[in-house]
Chains A and B, each alone.
Chain A
Amino acid sequence: MGLESGEMIVSPVLLVAIFAGFYMAVNIGANDVANSMGTSVASGALTLRKAVVVAGLCNFVGAVLLGVYVTDTIRKGIINPAYFAPNPNLLIYGMIAVLLGAGGWVSIATYLRLPVSTTHSIVGALIGFGLLGAGIQGIQWKVVGAIILSWFISPIGGAGISYLLFTIIKRKILDSPSPLAAAKRVGPFFVGLVLFVIGLAVVYGVSKRLLGNPHFSYVLGIAGAIAIIGGLASYIFLGRYALGENDEYEEMEELSKPLQVLSASYVALANGANDVANSIGPIAAILTVMETQKVTMQVPVPIWVFGLGGIGLVIGISTWGYRVMETIGRKITEVTPTRGFAAEFGAATAVIVCSRLGMPVSTTHASVGSVIGVGMARGIGAINLRVVGRIGISWLVTLPVSAGFTIVIYKVLSALLPQL
């Protein structure tokens, strides 16, 4: 027995896992990019091509630098791996079933043109496999409880942040006698703000990768410096700029477009950080079991796995994601850069905080919550609240269906494949 025969049986299994995980990543990229960055294309802040480039780049960076927290939750936070110690291969089959089950449900829902959350699918799949493979005690219910709580808190938190941000924009810029002048004064602060949070996230991620443990004060310092330099630069640039549009509001919105490019980058970064785990978390679990022949999952996930997930995201974004964003751009005609900035910033902040806490959340739901937050601050003409109802139904359906698919596939796998 031992490693040799184990490796011979498991390697094709690893390939299947990688393929399934990659397929999930492509689906995630395709689904989520339009919902998080659609407002940037609709408002004209980014052309379709530039949006895809920004989304691809930032998703990849977010995945590689910050994806580790949620990935750890997916690979060992929901299911208690200890229960598979006597038979590690069951964990491997289970994780494959998870990928195939969740991936299957996502595919069917997409084909039926239903909104589906890849995050909820994976979590449902994991719970399904965990219950079957290890029983009720095999699931770490505290973690599951926290995750479900985060599914409520992230859209509400996003709504709150966006509401606050747009209210500030309204009071400081839109309410002023000359919105254009006010935008030139206040805009740099927003630029600094976004650069600060992006800088914080990226520098933190980089230093964690390179140094192991980032010194927070040092990270804060660098992020702060980037924010101040960026803010000053934009202040100088804005001071000179005059576009000559007739309407002062239109000119102010034109000037706000670069700001929305920054918030779009921010939300794409958050998206990558949170969603990559949905595809590579199970792969990471399988790899660890294969490498260590143990289930304890102490070994860190190798960086190429994140890269793999990142590439999957990029492919999904640049193919189907592109097409969906194209229709959005034509469908939504009433979003302006100021509104889009407030919505994207709120969603991104909610998602990135949850990512750091290891909580897998739906970036789509956070985006919907944030748009509603801006709407409540009277920033948007008309919002269809029925979508919230549809999302609620999708929640209730996804968890059991995904779990069900996974259970069926797991039973089939464990019947067909030999148990070592």
Chain B
Amino acid sequence: MRSVIGALFRKSPFEALHRHMQKVRECCDQLKPLMEAFMSGDRDLIRRKTKEISDLEHEADIIKNDIREHLPHRLLMSVDRSDVLHFLNQEDAVADSIEDIARLIEMRETNVPSELKGELMELVDKVMHTITSLESATFELKSLAQSSFSREEEKKVSDLIKRIDRSEYEADIVQQRSARKLFSLEDKTDLLSVVLLMKIMGELGSVADHAQNTGDRLRGIIAR
């Protein structure tokens, strides 16, 4: 390398992390349309949405691998390397869970009991809250780096992460309520549908969980 200083600087991961979050968000944006298609029983739309989600999840994977490949051990960063990698894992798990939900919906023509539809949409909304809160928190990474992790910025991100925690808690409550509602309908619903609907609600809860875990990892990144 002709210029030593040129070789000294490496691209920081923040811009790529931003892109990964955007991709995960795009994936999550398909959740509500997917659930609506599920509830209306539109098999064609379900198939299309599943393919879109799958493609977006794959694109997120590519970004994730790219980040991992450019984080060698000998890098001195303003954040901890393993914190970043764990953060990335959890963030990617969000997209993975969305894809799992799509597959569960697509693999069988399941009828959603009309009494459950309200709870289910509420659960989806709460899960989307966790995602939008996570997005806001993650997008602050750039300002964090710009300010060299100033106290002001750290507090701002900390507050945003607390919002994720709160949304996840609320999602948990709705998930419980939905499960109870489903069991109250068990006499009217076939066993396989109950099993599948439970799995789908469980995966929705997982999305919120992964979002919260990601936020937790973000706390670790900031603190160092």
Contacts and interface: CB of A to CB of B under 8 A. Distances in A.
A174 B6 CA distance: 26
Interface of B: 1-14, 72, 74-78, 143, 145-152, 224
A174 B150 contact: yes
21 contacts: A34-B5, A35-B4, A110-B2, A113-B2, A115-B1, A175-B151, A179-B147, A249-B146, A249-B147, A325-B3, A327-B2, A328-B6, A331-B6, A331-B9, A333-B11, A367-B5, A375-B76, A383-B10, A384-B72, A386-B74, A387-B4
B224 A174 contact: no
Interface string A14-42: 00000000000000000000110011001
Q: Chain A: interface secondary structure?
A: helix
Interface residues of A, number: 48
A110 B2 CA distance: 7
Contact of B3 (A34, A174, A177, A377): A34
Contact of A381 (B2, B72, B145): B145
Contact of A383 (B6, B76, B151): B76
A153 interface: no
A137 B4 CA distance: 36
A371 B4 CA distance: 11
Contact of A174 (B4, B11, B147): B147
A136 interface: no
Given A174-B148, A175-B151, A381 B3 contact: no
A247 B153 CA distance: 13
A378 B12 contact: no
Nearest to A372: B76
4 smallest CB-CB distances across A and B, nearest first, come from A381-B12, A382-B10, A378-B78, A383-B76
A90 interface: no
Contacts of A177: 152
A378 B75 contact: no
Given A175-B150, A375-B76, A376-B76, A382 B11 contact: yes
Interface string A374-399: 01111111111111001100000000
A119 interface: no
A249 B75 contact: no
Contact of B78 (A34, A247, A380): A380
A364 interface: yes
A122 to B, nearest CB: 18
A15 to B, nearest CB: 31
Contacts of B146: 247, 249-250, 336
A328 B3 contact: yes
A7 interface: no
Given A174-B147, A379-B78, A115 B4 contact: yes
A328 B13 CA distance: 20
Given A170-B150, A331-B9, A332-B9, A382 B77 contact: yes
A385 B6 contact: no
Given A115-B1, A250-B146, 7 more contacts: A38-B6, A113-B2, A247-B146, A378-B149, A379-B148, A384-B8, A390-B7
